[in-house]
Amino acid sequence: MIDVYFWPTPNGHKITVFLEEAGLPYRIVPVNIGKGEQFEPSFLKISPNNRIPAIVDHEPKGGGAPVSVFESGAILVYLAEKTGKFLPAEGPARYDVLQWLFWQVGGLGPLAGQTHHFNKYEPERIPYAIDRYVRETARLYGVMNKRLADRPYLAGEYSIADMACYPWVVPHADQKQNLDDFPHLKDWFERIRNRPAVQRAYERGEREAKAPPLDEEAKKILFGQGADSTAR
């Protein structure tokens, strides 16, 4: 059994999508990030960056003590290596997947995350910031669109790279992006959206970890963090 420390956000959904695709049994442990549960000392022990997702695998490959992993990219690699699925074991095909996975965790996720922040939550509406992040998100969508012009998935075959990117394209409207501007990306998005495992993952995640809209208290917790935050 794998415990998934989860909240229904793009980074959380990546992991349950993998688990549903691979058919691995898992238990969702909700971490309400709007209430500050990401600062609980027991959670910080497995996720020192006070972010979801994290996992604890109670039956690691080869036996031994439970293994905990934080950072969604590392978790996806861990699960792929545990199951032998969605990441080739070696050769150029493996690096095709890894480069798009790293591209997501280093680029699409953080940049689209800033787009959400300035477009949806920032009270002062700073046009420069909104414009900068919306444009950069559009550039990243354009990169994916070009890549997908001659292949169905980012690394050719469906892989953990697609599972990492898809949840960040789901909220495209909040990023002020129109998928009609990116036809190959739109086809990819529909292909993944129609996968039964993806639908099961979103349905279960949202059912077992119900996230209310962010209130002022939640915004203070999420957007007011500094060096002292993890010392609580």
User: Which range, of 45-53, 129-137, 177-185, 188-196, touches ligand GSH by CB under 6 A?
Assistant: 45-53
3-state secondary structure at position 77: helix
* 26 CB-side CA count, 13 A: 28
How many Å apart are CA 70 and CA 86, to the nearest integer? 19
Residue span 206-225 as binding mask against ligand GSH, x where in contact by CB under 6 A, dash where not: ----------------x---
User: Which range, of 19-27, 68-76, 87-95, 141-149, touches ligand GSH by CB under 6 A?
Assistant: 68-76
Out of 3, 59, 71, 187, the residue judged to bind ligand GSH by CB under 6 A = 71
Q: Does 161 bind ligand GSH (CB under 6 A)?
A: no
Q: In the sheet that 2-6 helps form, which strands lie side by side, from edge to edge?
A: 26-30, 2-6, 54-57, 67-70
Q: Does 169 bind ligand GSH (CB under 6 A)?
A: no
Cβ-Cβ contacts under 8 Å for 74 (sequence gap 6 or more): none
Q: Does 101 bind ligand GSH (CB under 6 A)?
A: no
- Label residues 136-172 b or e (16+ Cβ within 10 Å = b): bbbebbebbbebbeeeebbbebbbbbbbbbbbbbeeb
Q: Does 175 bind ligand GSH (CB under 6 A)?
A: no
Length of the chain counted residue by residue: 232
Least spacing, CB of residue 114 vs ligand GSH, in Å:
11
Out of 51, 116, 172, 186, the residue judged to bind ligand GSH by CB under 6 A = 51
User: Which range, of 46-54, 86-94, 145-153, 183-191, touches ligand GSH by CB under 6 A?
Assistant: 46-54
Based on CB atoms, which residue is closest to ligand GSH, 10 or 88?
10
Helices within 149-214 (DSSP H only): 160-169, 183-193, 196-208
Which H or E run contains 10? helix 10-22
Contacts with ligand GSH by CB under 6 A: the residue count is 15
Least spacing, CB of residue 44 vs ligand GSH, in Å:
11
* 33 CB-side CA count, 13 A: 19
Provide the binding-site residues for ligand GSH, judged by CB under 6 A.
9-11, 33, 38, 50-53, 71-73, 105, 109, 222
